[in-house]
Amino acid sequence: MSHADECGIAPISVKDNRIVNGTDASLGEYPYQVSVGGFCGGSLIKAEWVLTAAHCFDGSENPANLRIYLGMLNIASPASDVVILTAKAIIRHESFSQFTFANDIAVIQLSSPVTFTDKIKPICLPQADDIAFGENAVVTGWGTREFATSDFPSILQEVALEVTNDTFCSSFGDTTVSLCAYTPYKDSCQGDSGGPLVARSCKGSGRWVVVGIVSYGVECAKLGFPGVYTRVPNYVNWISEKTGGTSCT
């Protein structure tokens, strides 16, 4: 089965029109979710490629020392069938700014292609402008449950957030490279960086696409302040250039 047949068909359709607040995910519910070294999240976009945030790395890392965990639900006690691979290459965006977090995107080439299973499948990449403002999107990760604490969950967490319009978001980031998601008292947090914000494609395919990458915010779930995400639809050409072709929509 091709990547186009596999991607974006996880059983996360149950999240339509439903807000969840930091609840445990189920095994296989987000089969594209990966853990990058236990310190960041990421999303599988092709058998050999993971999408994540540039700020997860400082550029000095040895890819061979980086471990990528795929098909994992419990980060504290990974199941025996969790796939652990090293990296062949870490490619950060050439114009990433560690000061403004502009172009906060990176791709990781895995040491070998992973075999897709019920627990390991890619997420689709979006088309240009494939963002449904005002609709719910879902973010997942093993980050802290509260700002500036060490309360890390063992089980992958999920939360639904509303994708805000650019007028609101422009007060918090450059909307040519970022998008915002905000629902009061719900958010991603430390340790979720690099993880996926996914939504139903608004281009007619009905599949789930990764529209954002967890980038930054003011604390976590602070009232009136959204989470800011790398605007993935604006980087599909860059991703294609680095990985040798885009995934499906």
pLDDT band for 66, please (50, 70, 90 cuts). very high
pLDDT band for 145, please (50, 70, 90 cuts). low
Query: Which is the catalytic residue, given 104, 130, 187, 192?
Result: 104
Structural domain contains residue 4: no
Structural domain contains residue 248: no
- Is pLDDT above 90 for 191? no
Would you state the pLDDT for residue 151? 66
For 75-104, write each residue's pLDDT tens digit: 999 999 999 999 999 999 999 999 999 999
Are 81 and 195 within one domain? no
Mean pLDDT of 183-194: 77
Concerning whether 55 is annotated as a catalytic residue, the answer is yes
Concerning whether 93 is annotated as a catalytic residue, the answer is no
pLDDT band for 11, please (50, 70, 90 cuts). low
> What does the mean pLDDT of the chain come to?
87
Query: Which is the catalytic residue, given 193, 205, 215, 247?
Result: 193
Which 3-state string (H, E, C) describes the chain?
CCHHHHCCCCCHHHHCCCCCEEEECCCCCCCCEEEECCCEEEEEEECCEEEECHHHCCCCCCHHHCEEEECCCECCCCCCCCEEEEEEEEEECCCCCCCCCCCCCEEEEECCCCCCCCCCCCCECCCCCCCCCCCEEEEEECCCCCCCCCCCCCECEEEEEEECCHHHHCCCCCCCCEEEECECCECCCCCCCCCEEEEECCCCCCCEEEEEEEEEECCCCCCCCCEEEEEHHHHHHHHHHHHCCCCCC
Instruction: Provide the domain count of the chain.
Output: 2
- Is pLDDT above 60 for 147? no
Residue span of the structural domain in which 136 resides: 11-26+123-233
Query: Which is the catalytic residue, given 43, 55, 130, 215?
Result: 55
Concerning whether 80 is annotated as a catalytic residue, the answer is no
Are 22 and 135 within one domain? yes
